[in-house]
Amino acid sequence: MNDTVMPHVDFRSDTVTRPSAGMRKAMADAEVGDAVYDEDPTTNRLESMAAERLGMEAALFFPSATQANLAGFMAHCGRGDEYIVGQTAHAYRDEGGGAAVLGSIQPQPLPNEPDGIIDLDAITSAIKPDDFHNPVTRLLTLENTFNGLPLPEDYLQNAIELARSNGVSTHLDGARIMNAAVAAGREASAIAGRFDSVSLCLSKGLGAPVGALLAGSTELIARAKRIRKTLGGGMRQTGVLAAAGIYALEHNVSRMREDHDRANRLSEVFREFPELGAGEARTNMVFLSPEGVDMRAFTAFMGDRDIITGSAHGKLRWVTHLDIDDEAIESVRRACKEFFGR
């Protein structure tokens, strides 16, 4: 738990964490320069570190994962090209349609299966033939973890091979790639390094206040840098922020195992009350699809006990993170017992 005051037990998202004392000190002590002139030593160090961790040649610091994804799409695709993306993927549904709005890139959304994958046959059918009537299918983008689910390794390999054999590049929205890596007991590079590009978010389970990275080949990152400038993402003394990112990569990756264990315990608590329809926790998220339970009353009851939860895709979403400790899980157990009267 952080040393800062906790007004609530907040399970809405892993984005709600506040920087720890150690992270704040690293930020205060950061050596800085003008990053637009490539003169910020801390940002340069974070970019090299992230490239190495993700198994890529180069990486670039961004203010947000939304901008990192968008710059990635624009670096891969030209005007009128298309990218294949999951119908419920963050990069399609929750990023303001940036690829279309700002990149003139047409999305080709395809359904996400319950385990987060996009069916390979559906991808094959969606890749357009080389015909002047069609947009050029340039990119396949996947998300890992997807709603807290790590995508199966063999699926990732097959999807990448399918894309490559059709001349289509691959991008991974790896906002939570570190959760996937920790869950698999593997280095992130073993998962991300096979893609042509990957985004990584520092302000989710990694606990930094701001920041994301896009990693890929040196050539792709050089293109993305030009695009980042166009998008207004060229920032100056970013070392203050990059220091938080370095601290996060050094201190907050392997400890994600604790978040996953707590999510697992949370799922067990909820399963004591079958009507909550609790799903399994594969990383740091638990979803509830209650039956015969008034969701609003349940959420309000929790809220009255300072326990905040969120919703996603018609379900209640509970996310564990740096600011959720064992006592927080116990407080949910007590509240559930009280709510159900048993």
Ligand X SMILES: Cc1ncc(COP(=O)(O)O)c(C=O)c1O
Q: What are phi and psi of 264, to 5 degrees?
A: -65, -45
Judge whether 123 and 140 are in contact, CB under 8 Å. yes
Q: Which of 60, 85, 80 is nearest to 71 (CA)?
A: 60
Q: Which residues of 275-314 are buried (b: 16+ CB within 10 A; e: fewer)?
A: ebbbbebbbbbbbbebeebebeebbeebeeeebbbeebee
* Residue 74 Cα distances to 39, 80, 99, angstroms: 25, 11, 7
Rounded Cα–Cα distance for residues 6 and 80 (Å): 48
Q: Which amino acid is present at 145? A: T
Contact between 198 and ligand X by CB under 6 A: the answer reads: no
Report the 3 state secondary structure along 92-111: HHCCCCHHHHHHCCEEEEEC
Judge whether 266 and 332 are in contact, CB under 8 Å. yes
Among 10, 143, 196, 323, binds ligand X (CB under 6 A): 143
- Nearest approach in angstroms of CB 65 to ligand X is 3
Is 90 or 335 the residue whose CB approaches ligand X more closely?
Answer: 90
Is 206 or 240 the residue whose CB approaches ligand X more closely?
Answer: 206
Is 202 or 328 the residue whose CB approaches ligand X more closely?
Answer: 202
- Nearest approach in angstroms of CB 8 to ligand X is 19
- Nearest approach in angstroms of CB 49 to ligand X is 19
Sites for ligand X among residues 24-83 (CB under 6 A): 64-66
- Nearest approach in angstroms of CB 64 to ligand X is 3
Sequence-separated (6 or more) residues with CB below 8 Å from residue 262 = 284, 320, 324, 325, 326, 328, 329
Is 66 or 238 the residue whose CB approaches ligand X more closely?
Answer: 66
- Nearest approach in angstroms of CB 335 to ligand X is 26
Residues that bind ligand X (rule: CB under 6 A) add up to a total of: 10
Is 314 or 341 the residue whose CB approaches ligand X more closely?
Answer: 314
Contact string (CB under 6 A) for ligand X, positions 155-174, x = contact? ------------------x-
Contact between 201 and ligand X by CB under 6 A: the answer reads: yes
Is 65 or 181 the residue whose CB approaches ligand X more closely?
Answer: 65
Is 51 or 175 the residue whose CB approaches ligand X more closely?
Answer: 175
Contact between 323 and ligand X by CB under 6 A: the answer reads: no
Q: Please name every residue paired with 58 in a beta bridge, in sequence order, or none if there are none.
A: 216
Is 65 or 336 the residue whose CB approaches ligand X more closely?
Answer: 65
Cα radius of gyration (the chain): 21
Contact string (CB under 6 A) for ligand X, positions 211-250, x = contact? -x--------------------------------------
- Interface with ligand X (CB under 6 A): 64-66, 90, 143, 173, 175, 201, 203, 212
